[in-house]
Amino acid sequence: MPKKLLLLPPPSASSAFRVPRARPVPPPAMNAARTGYRVFSANSTAACTELAKRITERLGAELGKSVVYQETNGETRVEIKESVRGQDIFIIQTIPRDVNTAVMELLIMAYALKTACARNIIGVIPYFPYSKQSKMRKRGSIVCKLLASMLAKAGLTHIITMDLHQKEIQGFFSFPVDNLRASPFLLQYIQEEIPNYRNAVIVAKSPDAAKRAQSYAERLRLGLAVIHGEAQCTELDMDDGRHSPPMVKNATVHPGLELPLMMAKEKPPITVVGDVGGRIAIIDDIIDDVESFVAAAEILKERGAYKIYVMATHGILSAEAPRLIEESSVDEVVVTNTVPHEVQKLQCPKIKTVDISLILSEAIRRIHNGESMAYLFRNITVDD
C-alpha cells in the first residue's frame, strides 16, 4: 500500500519563530575543561611535579596536558597539548637547584598559554626565585624587579607565592600577588610533633629575624632569644655593604670638600641574648647556607639547650647541606615542600617535611571562583 502523507497545518505567526526549550544540562565535574580552568606543571623534572600532583588531587582535577623538555643544545621547549582558549590557567612551578632553567620554563609556558588565548594566567610559585636580590648592592642590580617585569611581559596576570624573602617585593609587580604564609602549618607541627614544646624557646638567628620569631613566641606563649654577632668574618661580608664604598687609594677629591668619615660596621662575636639553658631551642629562618645554622646550634648547645629544632618555609638545602646537618648539633630540620628535597631527605634523616598543598589548592579554588582570599590570611600579621 502506498504510504499516506500527512499534511500539517501551517504554523501561526507566533509559533514560527518559537525557539524550542532546551533541556537542563547538569553542571560539569570539577575537572572538566568546560569549568574554565586548568592546572599545568611547568617543570621538566619528575621530582618537581610532586607538589603539582598533590594540589590537583585536592582540587579533584587533572594536570593539563603539556610537554616540557630541554633540547640537546640546552634550549627549553614547551608544547601545550590541549585547548586553553578562554580559560583560567594555573601554572605550578617549583624551583629546583637549576633556578635559571626553571625560570625559563615558566616564562616560555606562560607565553605559550598567552598566544593560545588563555583568559588569565596565574603563576603558582611557592618559592619565588631571586627574592634575595631585592636590594641594590653597590654597582649591582635588583634582579627580583627584573624577573617581575619578565613575568608580566610573558603574560602572567596573577601570582600565588609563599613567604617572600621581603614582603615589599610585591610592589615590583604590575599585577596582583598573593603572598601566603606557611606559619600556621609550622606552628601546628611544633604543637603536635615536638614533645614537651612548652619547655621551648623561639630563637631568632639574627636581629633581623626577631620580629618573626617574636610572632611565633607570642602565638605559642613561649620565651624568645636572639642570636647576635657572627662567628667569624668571611668573604661574604662584602655583600652586605660593610665595606662599601671600597677603599680607593689616591682618590680625586674636590678642593675644599671634606665629608665626615663613616666608620665601617663590625659585628661583635656571636652571642645569645636570652636564656636557653635546659630548654628546647627552635630556630626559624630560610635555609640555604646551612653553615650559619650549624654555628648557631653550637652556641645554643654551649648555652645549655638540650634539643635544637630548625623550622623553615623554604628548604633549599644547597650543596653540602644534608651532610652538614647530619654532623651538626641540630636534632631536626622541618621544612615545607615548596622546594623539592626528596634526595636530601635520603641523605639526612633529620630532615622532615610539612605539606602545604592544602592552602595552595584552596587559593586556586578561591581565585577561580572569584571568592575572597581573606580566610587564608585570618589572624596573620605583618610580622608573620
Q: Which residues contact 315 (CB under 8 A, 6 or more apart)?
A: 287, 333, 335, 336, 338, 339, 341, 344, 351
* Amino acid at site 230: E
| pTM to 2 decimal places | 0.81
Cα separation, 189 vs 203, whole angstroms: 17
Average pLDDT across each block of 10 residues of the chain; the chain has 384 residues. List them in order.
49 48 50 68 82 93 92 91 94 88 94 95 94 83 92 95 89 93 93 93 89 91 88 48 50 67 75 90 81 89 93 85 91 92 89 94 94 88 73
Cβ neighbourhood burial of 197 (10 Å; 0-12, 13-18, 19+): middle
Of 313, 321, 331, nearest to 292 by C-alpha is 321
Q: Tell me the torsion sign for CA atoms 99, 60, 109, 37.
A: negative
8 A C-beta contact, residue 280 and residue 309: yes
Cα separation, 258 vs 38, whole angstroms: 64
Cα separation, 300 vs 275, whole angstroms: 10
In this prediction, residue 208 carries a pLDDT of: 83
Element at 369 (helix H, strand E): helix 357-369
8 A C-beta contact, residue 278 and residue 303: no
Q: Output b/e per residue, 219-232; b: 16+ Cβ within 10 A.
A: bbebebbbbbebee
Q: Which residues pair with 203 in a beta bridge?
A: 225, 283
Q: What does the angle CA 148 – CA 130 – CA 285 come to, to the nearest 5 degrees? A: 125
Of 352, 246, 240, nearest to 292 by C-alpha is 240
Rounded-to-10 torsion of CA 176, 182, 183, 189: 160
Cα separation, 14 vs 200, whole angstroms: 82
Distance of CA 303 to the CA centre of its chain: 34
Rounded-to-10 torsion of CA 307, 308, 313, 319: -130
* Amino acid at site 125: I
Element at 79 (helix H, strand E): strand 76-80
In this prediction, residue 45 carries a pLDDT of: 77
Q: Tell me the torsion sign for CA atoms 193, 128, 88, 53.
A: negative
In this prediction, residue 7 carries a pLDDT of: 47
Cα separation, 248 vs 231, whole angstroms: 28
Cα separation, 264 vs 243, whole angstroms: 7
Cα separation, 117 vs 132, whole angstroms: 33
8 A C-beta contact, residue 87 and residue 64: no
8 A C-beta contact, residue 138 and residue 244: yes
Cα separation, 2 vs 24, whole angstroms: 41
Cα separation, 190 vs 309, whole angstroms: 9
Q: Which cell goes with 47?
A: 621530582
In this prediction, residue 100 carries a pLDDT of: 92
In this prediction, residue 236 carries a pLDDT of: 47
10 Å Cβ neighbour count for 369? 10
Q: What is the phi/psi pair of residue 140, to 5°? A: -85, -150
